[in-house]
């Protein structure tokens, strides 16, 4: 008789966004004529830019000829894309990242869930609270998080680092020592950012205690403030302790194409393992995992990613990002005018608001859906410190962003 990985059974309820989708579907079924504006899930709405479309067409045509047909992609990604990323995203910003330290994948969500596989079963993780649920849930599935407390919404073996208005939504160094530290800036869900000086403190701390930082930079394209780092590798010493996750979904609209990358410098080394291996690079472990479990992002998608680094691609993507940020500014300012306390929305496509009259985030979700026909994301779904907060995204159309704010202002 087979047995189960019973760690899955420890997970409370369904995945946050699956639960939201079910609630919205039930409401839509009961109110078939309702005009619902979805500002909950972080899915983009603008079409792919012309430079990307042109490169896709060209790559598809290549697949029709025996001379240019491509089968399996190289395990770690095509060199043309790895080089473009290393040069444009890192070396041009003064970050010493080599082409072979970039691993191409089908998205940051997959990598953020899978990266934990190269670490021991007994490592302890520290996460921001609120937090992107995948970081915790994937470690629960691996059996690292201990027991879940329904009352507190916390796992017994996870170090929670509260991110609140009192600390500017930037976590403080933990009092208990973690092995893995998950950081995401610009932050999902709060939309807040971290300065280079603050991020340097985390790099110094990780090197001091022997921890590894998993740094999710999926939203770096939305940064306009020159004092805000686009990469953790802008910090001294980060090559020795940080793994960075990158995504094409939010910067170039690839949510339907699926493309991302994980950067692991050769400098992150375990001097000696429990079984006696010496000077083991995390880079080699991820390469082994990649080669064993993954056949690579499709050639045509990687060519599309390469187009993002052309001069035309850069300019067109910059326009798309500006459009979403126009939405973010309108949503943030409109909510302020309506009397809400609001955060984020400046260097990020997410707006984080305080629920009115101290109602719970799920109560506000229901109120917003029923009275305004607007869908957002309850803050409590991101962790206990997210209670009494709510997330709206700027990834809809400008027209729907305007309409949503007008409805919220008119709620009674």
**Site of tokens 């017994």:** 156
Helix (H) or strand (E) holding 385: none
Count how many residues are written for the chain: 412
- Both tokens of 251, joined, read 């910067």
Q: What per-residue string of b and e applies to 78-110 under the rule 16 or more CB within 10 Å gives b?
A: beebbbbbbeebbeeeebebebbbbbbbbbbbb
Q: Contact at 8 Å (CB) between 289 and 76?
A: no
Closest C-alpha to 89, from 252, 241, 281, 268: 252
111 cis-preceded (ω within 30 degrees of 0): no
Neighbour-count burial of 253, counting CB atoms closer than 10 A to its CB (0-12 exposed, 13-18 middle, 19+ buried): buried
Closest C-alpha to 267, from 308, 301, 226, 239: 239
Binding-site residue ranges for pyridoxal 5'-phosphate: 72, 108-109, 132, 188, 219, 247-249, 258, 295
Binding-site residue ranges: 15, 42, 72, 108-109, 132, 188, 219, 247-249, 258, 295, 391
Question: Phi first, then psi: what are they for 261, rounded to 5°?
Answer: -160, 150
- Both tokens of 394, joined, read 């700027």
Closest C-alpha to 282, from 318, 314, 241, 252: 241
What is the DSSP track for 113-160? HHGGGGS-TT--EEEEES--HHHHHHHHHTT-S--EETTTTEETTEEE
Show Cβ contacts of residue 136 under 8 Å, excluding neighbours closer than 6 positions. 125, 127, 145, 155, 158, 383
**Site of tokens 């998950």:** 182
Binding-site residue ranges for substrate: 15, 42, 109, 132, 188, 295, 391
If one counts every other C-beta atom within 10 angstroms of the C-beta of residue 13, the result is 8
């Amino acid at each position: 008789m087979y047995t189960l990985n019973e760690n899955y059974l420890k997970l409370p309820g369904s995945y946050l966004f699956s639960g939201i989708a079910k609630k919205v579907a039930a409401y839509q079924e009961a109110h078939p004529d309702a005009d619902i504006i979805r500002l909950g899930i972080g899915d983009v709405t603008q079409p792919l830019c012309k430079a990307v479309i042109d490169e896709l067409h060209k790559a598809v045509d290549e697949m029709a000829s025996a001379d240019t047909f491509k089968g399996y992609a190289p395990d770690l990604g095509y060199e043309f894309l790895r080089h473009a990323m290393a040069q444009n995203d890192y070396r041009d910003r003064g970050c010493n990242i080599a082409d072979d330290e970039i691993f191409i994948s089908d998205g940051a969500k997959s990598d953020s869930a899978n990266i934990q596989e190269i670490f021991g079963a007994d490592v302890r993780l520290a996460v921001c609270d609120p937090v992107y649920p995948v970081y915790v849930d994937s470690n629960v599935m691996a059996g690292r998080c201990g027991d879940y407390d329904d009352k507190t919404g916390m796992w017994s073996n996870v170090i929670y680092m509260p991110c609140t208005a009192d600390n500017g939504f930037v976590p403080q160094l933990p009092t208990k020592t973690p092995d893995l530290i998950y950081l995401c800036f610009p932050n999902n869900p709060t939309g807040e950012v971290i300065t280079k000086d603050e991020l340097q403190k985390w790099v110094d701390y990780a090197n001091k205690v022997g921890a590894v930082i998993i740094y999710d930079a999926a939203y770096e394209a939305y940064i306009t403030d020159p004092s805000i780092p686009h990469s953790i590798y802008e910090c001294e010493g980060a090559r020795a302790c940080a793994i960075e996750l990158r995504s094409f979904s939010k910067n170039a609209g690839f949510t339907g194409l699926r493309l991302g990358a994980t950067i692991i410098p050769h400098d992150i080394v375990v001097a000696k393992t429990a079984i006696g291996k010496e000077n083991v690079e995390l880079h080699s472990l991820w390469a082994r995992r990649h080669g064993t479990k993954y056949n690579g992002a499709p050639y045509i998608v990687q060519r599309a990613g390469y187009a993002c680094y052309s001069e035309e691609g850069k300019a067109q993507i910059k326009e798309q990002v500006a459009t979403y940020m126009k939405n973010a500014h309108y949503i943030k300012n409109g909510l302020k005018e309506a009397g809400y306390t609001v955060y984020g929305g400046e260097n990020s496509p997410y707006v984080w608001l305080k629920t009115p009259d101290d109602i719970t985030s799920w109560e506000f979700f229901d109120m917003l859906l029923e009275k305004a026909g607007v869908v957002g994301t309850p803050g409590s779904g991101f962790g206990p410190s997210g209670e009494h907060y709510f997330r709206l995204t700027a990834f809809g159309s400008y027209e729907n962003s305007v309409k949503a704010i007008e409805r919220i202002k008119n709620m009674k």
